Amino acid sequence: MSYSVAVSGASGYAGGELLRLLAEHPDVEIRTVTAHSNAGQPLIQHQPHLRSLAHLTLQDTTPEILSGHDVVFLALPHGQSGQYTDALGDTRLVIDCGADHRLTDGADWDSFYGGHFHEPWAYGVPELPVAGAKQREQLVGATRIAAPGCNASTVSLSLAPGVAAGVIDPSDIVSVLAVGPSGAGKSLKPHLLGAELFGSANPYAVGGSHRHIPEIRQALRAAGATGDIRISFTPVLVPMARGILATSTARISDGVTDAQIRDAWESAYGDETFVQLLPEGQVPRTADVLGANTALIGLTVDRAAGRVVVVTAVDNLAKGTAGAAIQSMNIALGLPESRALTVNGVAP
Amino acid sequence: MSYSVAVSGASGYAGGELLRLLAEHPDVEIRTVTAHSNAGQPLIQHQPHLRSLAHLTLQDTTPEILSGHDVVFLALPHGQSGQYTDALGDTRLVIDCGADHRLTDGADWDSFYGGHFHEPWAYGVPELPVAGAKQREQLVGATRIAAPGCNASTVSLSLAPGVAAGVIDPSDIVSVLAVGPSGAGKSLKPHLLGAELFGSANPYAVGGSHRHIPEIRQALRAAGATGDIRISFTPVLVPMARGILATSTARISDGVTDAQIRDAWESAYGDETFVQLLPEGQVPRTADVLGANTALIGLTVDRAAGRVVVVTAVDNLAKGTAGAAIQSMNIALGLPESRALTVNGVAP
Amino acid sequence: MSYSVAVSGASGYAGGELLRLLAEHPDVEIRTVTAHSNAGQPLIQHQPHLRSLAHLTLQDTTPEILSGHDVVFLALPHGQSGQYTDALGDTRLVIDCGADHRLTDGADWDSFYGGHFHEPWAYGVPELPVAGAKQREQLVGATRIAAPGCNASTVSLSLAPGVAAGVIDPSDIVSVLAVGPSGAGKSLKPHLLGAELFGSANPYAVGGSHRHIPEIRQALRAAGATGDIRISFTPVLVPMARGILATSTARISDGVTDAQIRDAWESAYGDETFVQLLPEGQVPRTADVLGANTALIGLTVDRAAGRVVVVTAVDNLAKGTAGAAIQSMNIALGLPESRALTVNGVAP
Amino acid sequence: MSYSVAVSGASGYAGGELLRLLAEHPDVEIRTVTAHSNAGQPLIQHQPHLRSLAHLTLQDTTPEILSGHDVVFLALPHGQSGQYTDALGDTRLVIDCGADHRLTDGADWDSFYGGHFHEPWAYGVPELPVAGAKQREQLVGATRIAAPGCNASTVSLSLAPGVAAGVIDPSDIVSVLAVGPSGAGKSLKPHLLGAELFGSANPYAVGGSHRHIPEIRQALRAAGATGDIRISFTPVLVPMARGILATSTARISDGVTDAQIRDAWESAYGDETFVQLLPEGQVPRTADVLGANTALIGLTVDRAAGRVVVVTAVDNLAKGTAGAAIQSMNIALGLPESRALTVNGVAP
């Protein structure tokens, strides 16, 4: 059968990537695409790379237009999804790519986002270790799914196996991310201009203010962390459209061997298709996951520093957002999990 | 008066930057440029941006050709400078941009470089706090100077004030650097090809193997660190020709206030021209120091993570190498320290 | 049924792109991958983005190893394919991505390449207008196919409709191309280093020396050009891994109307999937065809200059090389022409 | 003596480059910097690379604030300079970096800009051949100067010698330019976002609509062109912050020898410092002129195509705008022409 699908925020970057992947999905029919200020215009005007969808016109993002589909993707700015979710009560599956339904703790929401707090939905990172199982189980048959923040899921996937196995100390984590600006969306802000970004590395949200921090803490707690979780998190914009290269380090727990450390990640991801631990001595590059639903993880034990170093490459729009959403959809609808998703990147 | 100058390694990136800066220096005459396999060719063929030096021809890099100048710059691969230094005994000032004369500890040399260990020379980072003073003092009248490693000096400048003031814990340091590939020199290696680097973030030397680690430890010890110095150090190649954006974090010492932290850096660099602490809430970008001799430092205290976050932007070829060398030369020769050096970057 | 496939030159860029596309092709089995100096190593070491092919090992490129497959792709440096083609006499389909079998005129071969001249094979640009038909017809059932040069096919597709319809003058053509360096292969040459290419536009082969010029002339003659074909052709390396943005202009023939001009391209490509003429006033970007088998063409009539301006975007590795090869394979084998090929690019 | 200077539009890219160069100028004092919506803010907030000017505050752009200086630079959007010029009647030297005073022909202004037509000022490209002399002569002692359009001056410098010498046909010119987006200013437009520009070549103003076309025609006419001047002009945004690489070709006049062609450029620029003809067989790269006031010209004769190919590299903000303005200022004020300007680029 074919599921009818609507994508809101279809003129943006996350919406565009959802459509790129859905266009190749044999079990869905992209029936409706919506936008806000661009409603009424051809989709192709805003997504000129989506040639196979040139027949679609952007409609208004209203509850009426979004309702009546089997699956609705909300790719809207944070804080805007909530208003549609009530009206979509009959929709079989709603997947929110915004932050509105990610956090379980209202206090975290208040501190990092503010405004009305919405109930948490099933978190769309299937491979994440949670309490002796995988997050995948919570997605089977789910009707409401919160796609992850791209930086948050990258760091969570990087460290959760070590936290779950107790081989690293969650109270001493440092993550520094080289990220492409597409994660910030198609926003007209001076610091996102090409001339500002070419040839430059530009940090932002330094010192603990980035909104993905509580999401990481939540994932690590779900993976089994007890006590304080303390993360120093610094994203740095670098000159590439897409990609996250997260370097995450954590203090090694006392008395743990190198083999035990490696085993923690191997046993967590050894059977996974889309989260791959690289062989010892190898590190990933973001180019290798461009357009792919793959997270590549390089793991090193630095005994001199007393820390595990986990370097993870992800395409922020694919595995980081739209790929995760579609993988979660596949699971929720009982389709093969990897349908319409590829492990192979576009390189060079 | 005018000092006669020779630059070896003149066809490489460090050599090119030395020449670019020296070409504007009113007190020097660039008399000799040397190379290895490119000897006999016009300099302009290898440095087509150095239009004012189009009259120079690359000579062989031999002790005979290098001797007889007031100042000799050695911009050679690591391990190759030592052979020239004996023959340059009469030279008033020799500045080595390689690693051969940086390390004071032979065991560090053996672990990270290997081969013959050379005596340490005065370390060319004038602004670095050392034992209640500045490294500058050791450069006054110096005749032999070791220019710093670009990553090493960036991280050392980032953290030395906090170490010197005792407000951060040198046994818990994490540095992750976004770096341009010019720091690796004009080497014909597959991973340095443009097609491999465009649109990608590529880590290397992950897990404690980078050769600049002992140099950082040495600088922090000189700044007053006692006990173990433990650094997790990860460089990531990003798509820009030049630049280092170092994100360094360290655990805050017990009982230290935010004001004490900020004061450590302010008192260290408040009077410096080329190392500037940005006002609270500001972070630097590498574009802002392109071609400049400036290190810009953004300092944030992240109490939730219990860490100080220091983000520092440097041009690896300028302040990181050639600028540091010429600044050190100015000091050694008694010239105004900032001669031929600018604080202003070329942006956008 | 499934066709067994061998890909030579599998550690290079063209070979990698062939494999990326073939990995998603339901009718082929990638049985053999070969290389030269890298033989014996895992494919994934050289193509870390091809995660689904991690089980393959590079073998030697010998006639023995290549023979015995249904389809053999030769992605070798120019001049090296010829030695294998004799030994592959029994192979159902051989597709050469090198230049060895592209040119029909031995004098052109001698002038631009030199060495042994090989017989021309069916030229792998299906959409190209040839003598009242399409090049596609010559590919149906073909057993030997010469995949095109990426720049050559881009310019040929840009101008052939106008030449075929007689609305432009083939003796007054100027093409300037912004190209990514992956077209030059994984060659260790100084001018292809990242540090040389970031932030710079670097022309090469200026003034009529580029080897794709005779290939363009040949295609335009096949499209119906009579008399002199004169092309000023200048490629410029720009800072992107992939992509060709060809700006081609030609003098408008006397007495031709704007409508006649537009109609020439519309009638040539109106029914094509992978070569698309954009609506009036629109121009293409290379980002929109990244990883896609699409050529996007923007056509403008500049009456003040008396010239047609055709701007065409192509992914040099996809539609320019590997995509064209696989599209041609599909046609030759009687498979659906677009199998394993997408019209949608990966953007942003 | 020291000239007092005001720079309007100081928060933009052209204004920033003016200030970067003026900051090193020994004969000027930057007294006033003005902006529009950013008035009242520290300059350093908008130009964080201009560390030596951190003490300046942006004032309103009003005639009152701009008046009373020896030299005023207007770096305002096109059409906005005119309102200030009347009020600056007493100012010794006004240099407009906008288009308002460039065109001599009101009809051109109406066609390409529109709005009130202002009288033409002395055109600020000193090296341009004009009627047997150089444009420089018109700048000596000038009190009102129109700095050139960056693309226009690049193409004009490329072709004027050939036009002046009669060796090329001005009725058959094609120019295609690879350009960085800083030429478009700090405008918040979607197509100037980094995510849209990374990894892509994006043409614009295709087909004769670019506003620099009449300026080129005017310069070529001043150089001696008679009859129709027909230019096909296509700019292509490529992923670099700065730089213009203009490939300009023109039909060779009948009966002209290669030596005559080369001699035309050599005699035009042989004595110039900032416009340099490269030796035969060499082509320029934009990296080599980054931050420099240099135009590098590579000249090739393509007899097979019947065209001269001129490839010229310029930094659009330096030699293309601010460098030209300051060079013109130096001439107008009787200062050494190259003061505060360098021929050396910042590379790699």
Query: Tell me: the pLDDT tens digits for A312-330?
Result: 999 999 999 999 999 999 9
The arithmetic mean of pLDDT across residues C98-119, rounded, is 93
Q: Does D12 lie at the interface with A, CB-CB under 8 angstroms?
A: no
Q: What are the structural domains of chain C?
A: 3-148+319-333 (3.40.50.720), 151-316 (3.30.360.10)
Nearest CA in chain D to C239: D239
The arithmetic mean of pLDDT across residues B78-82, rounded, is 86
Compare CB distances from D195 to A190, A196, A241 and report the shortest one's residue. A241
CA trace torsion C192, C195, C199, C202 (10° rounding): -30
Nearest CA in chain B to C287: B199
Catalytic residues of D: 150
Q: pLDDT band at residue B86, thresholds of 50, 70 and 90?
A: confident
Task: Tell me the percentage of chain B whose pLDDT exceeds 70.
Answer: 100
β pairing state of D231-237 and D202-203: antiparallel
β-partners of residue B314 are B244
The arithmetic mean of pLDDT across residues A209-221, rounded, is 95
Please answer yes or no on whether A206 and B306 come within 8 Å at the CB atom: no
Q: Does B1 lie at the interface with C, CB-CB under 8 angstroms?
A: no
All residues at 6 or more sequence positions from B37 whose CB lies less than 8 Å from its CB, including other chains: none
Measure the CA–CA gap between A188 and A175, rounded to whole angstroms. Answer: 27
Residue B75 has pLDDT above 90, yes or no: yes
The arithmetic mean of pLDDT across residues B279-297, rounded, is 98
Distance of CA B347 to the CA centre of its chain: 21
Classified as helix, coil or strand, B250 is: strand
Q: What does the pLDDT look like over C82-96, one tens digit per residue?
A: 888 778 999 999 999
State the nearest Cα–Cα gap between B342 and chain D, in angstroms: 9
Measure the CA–CA gap between D36 and D18, rounded to whole angstroms. Answer: 17
- Per-residue pLDDT, B163: 97
| Phi, psi of C297, rounded to the nearest 5 degrees | -120, 125
Q: pLDDT band at residue A302, thresholds of 50, 70 and 90?
A: very high
Q: Which residue has the tokens 């029919």?
A: A29
Of D330, C194, A256, the closest CA to residue B200 belongs to C194
Residue B70 has pLDDT above 90, yes or no: yes
Longest dimension (CA), chain A: 63
Compare CB distances from C195 to B182, B195, B196 and report the shortest one's residue. B182
Residue C1 has pLDDT above 80, yes or no: no
Q: pLDDT band at residue A81, thresholds of 50, 70 and 90?
A: confident
The arithmetic mean of pLDDT across residues C151-180, rounded, is 98
Compare CB distances from A174 to B174, B207, B286 and report the shortest one's residue. B174
> How many angstroms separate the Cα of A56 from the Cα of each of A6, D190, D279?
11, 21, 55
Name the pTM for this structure: 0.97
User: C284 and C312 in contact (C-beta within 8 Å)?
Assistant: yes
> How many angstroms separate the Cα of D49 from the Cα of each of A175, B342, C154, D348?
27, 11, 41, 19
H/E run at residue D112 = helix D106-112
Chain C, window 16-45: residues with a beta carbon less than 8 angstroms from a chain B beta carbon: none
Q: What does the pLDDT look like over C314-324, one tens digit per residue?
A: 999 999 999 99
Please answer yes or no on whether A243 and B200 come within 8 Å at the CB atom: yes
The 3-class SS string of chain C reads CCEEEEEECCCCHHHHHHHHHHCCCCCEEEEEEEECCCCCCEHHHHCCCCHHHCCCEEEECCHHHHCCCCEEEECCCCCCCHHHHCCCCCCCEEEECCCCCCCCCHHHHHHHCCCCCCCCCEECCCCCEECCEECHHHHCCCCEEECCCHHHHHHHHHHHHHHHCCCEEEEEEEEEEEECHHHHCCCCCHHHEHHHHCCCCEECCCCCCCCCHHHHHHHHHHCCCCCCCCEEEEEEECCCCCCEEEEEEEEECCCCCHHHHHHHHHHHHCCCCCEEECCCCCCCCHHHHCCCCCEEEEEEEECCCCEEEEEEEECCCHHHHHHHHHHHHHHHHCCCCCCCCCCCCCCC
Residue B294 has pLDDT above 80, yes or no: yes
Q: Does A347 lie at the interface with C, CB-CB under 8 angstroms?
A: yes
Residue B172 has pLDDT above 90, yes or no: yes
State the nearest Cα–Cα gap between B339 and chain A, in angstroms: 26
- Per-residue pLDDT, D79: 86
- Per-residue pLDDT, B83: 84
Identify all chain B residues contacting A285, using CB atoms and an 8 Å cutoff.
Answer: 196, 200-203
Q: Mean pLDDT over all residues of chain A?
A: 96
- Per-residue pLDDT, A85: 79
Please answer yes or no on whether A197 and D199 come within 8 Å at the CB atom: no
Q: Which amino acid is at D71?
A: V
Q: Does B231 lie at the interface with A, CB-CB under 8 angstroms?
A: yes
Nearest CA in chain A to C277: A51
Residue A79 has pLDDT above 90, yes or no: no
- Per-residue pLDDT, D84: 87
CA trace torsion B303, B308, B309, B313 (10° rounding): 150
Q: Does B193 lie at the interface with C, CB-CB under 8 angstroms?
A: yes
Mutation site for D-interface testing, chosen from C209, C247, C251, C315 by largest number of D Cβ within 10 Å = C247
Please answer yes or no on whether D49 and B24 come within 8 Å at the CB atom: no
Q: Does A201 lie at the interface with D, CB-CB under 8 angstroms?
A: no
User: B213 and B289 in contact (C-beta within 8 Å)?
Assistant: no
Residue C135 has pLDDT above 80, yes or no: yes
Low-confidence ranges of chain D (pLDDT < 50): none
Please answer yes or no on whether C313 and D206 come within 8 Å at the CB atom: no
Residue A78 has pLDDT above 90, yes or no: no
State the nearest Cα–Cα gap between A51 and chain C, in angstroms: 5
Measure the CA–CA gap between C292 and C320, rounded to whole angstroms. Answer: 10
Compare CB distances from D206 to C196, C198, C300 and report the shortest one's residue. C300
Compare CB distances from B346 to D51, D52, D346 and report the shortest one's residue. D346
Residue B276 has pLDDT above 80, yes or no: yes
Of C108, C140, C104, C105, the closest CA to residue C124 belongs to C140
Nearest CA in chain D to A240: D198
Nearest CA in chain B to A241: B199
State the nearest Cα–Cα gap between C178 and chain B, in angstroms: 15
Q: Does C283 lie at the interface with D, CB-CB under 8 angstroms?
A: yes
Q: Mean pLDDT over all residues of chain B?
A: 96
CA trace torsion C83, C89, C94, C96 (10° rounding): 20
User: And the tokens for A48?
Assistant: 């000129």
The arithmetic mean of pLDDT across residues B167-181, rounded, is 98
Measure the CA–CA gap between D165 and A14, rounded to whole angstroms. Answer: 56
Compare CB distances from D287 to C178, C199, C241 and report the shortest one's residue. C199
Residue A87 has pLDDT above 80, yes or no: yes
Distance of CA C220 to the CA centre of its chain: 15
Residue B132 has pLDDT above 90, yes or no: no
Chain B, window 246-275: residues with a beta carbon less than 8 angstroms from a chain D beta carbon: none
The arithmetic mean of pLDDT across residues C45-64, rounded, is 97
Q: Does B345 lie at the interface with D, CB-CB under 8 angstroms?
A: yes
CB atoms within 10 A of CB A287: 28
Measure the CA–CA gap between D151 and D332, rounded to whole angstroms. Answer: 23
Sign of CA dihedral C240, C243, C244, C245: negative
The arithmetic mean of pLDDT across residues A91-103, rounded, is 96
Q: Does A55 lie at the interface with C, CB-CB under 8 angstroms?
A: no
Chain D, window 90-149: residues with a beta carbon less than 8 angstroms from a chain C beta carbon: none
- Per-residue pLDDT, C79: 86
- Per-residue pLDDT, C132: 83
Q: Does A87 lie at the interface with B, CB-CB under 8 angstroms?
A: no
- Per-residue pLDDT, D319: 98
Identify all chain D residues contacting A178, using CB atoms and an 8 Å cutoff.
Answer: none
Q: Which amino acid is at A95?
A: I
Residue C313 has pLDDT above 80, yes or no: yes
Of D151, D189, D187, D204, the closest CA to residue D316 belongs to D151
- Per-residue pLDDT, D85: 79
Compare CB distances from C239 to D239, D290, D307 and report the shortest one's residue. D239
All residues at 6 or more sequence positions from B276 whose CB lies less than 8 Å from its CB, including other chains: B269, B294, B295, B296, B297, B343, D51
Chain A neighbors (3+ CB pairs < 8 Å): B, C, D
Q: pLDDT band at residue C143, thresholds of 50, 70 and 90?
A: very high
Q: Does B347 lie at the interface with D, CB-CB under 8 angstroms?
A: yes
- Per-residue pLDDT, C131: 84
Please answer yes or no on whether D247 and C236 come within 8 Å at the CB atom: yes
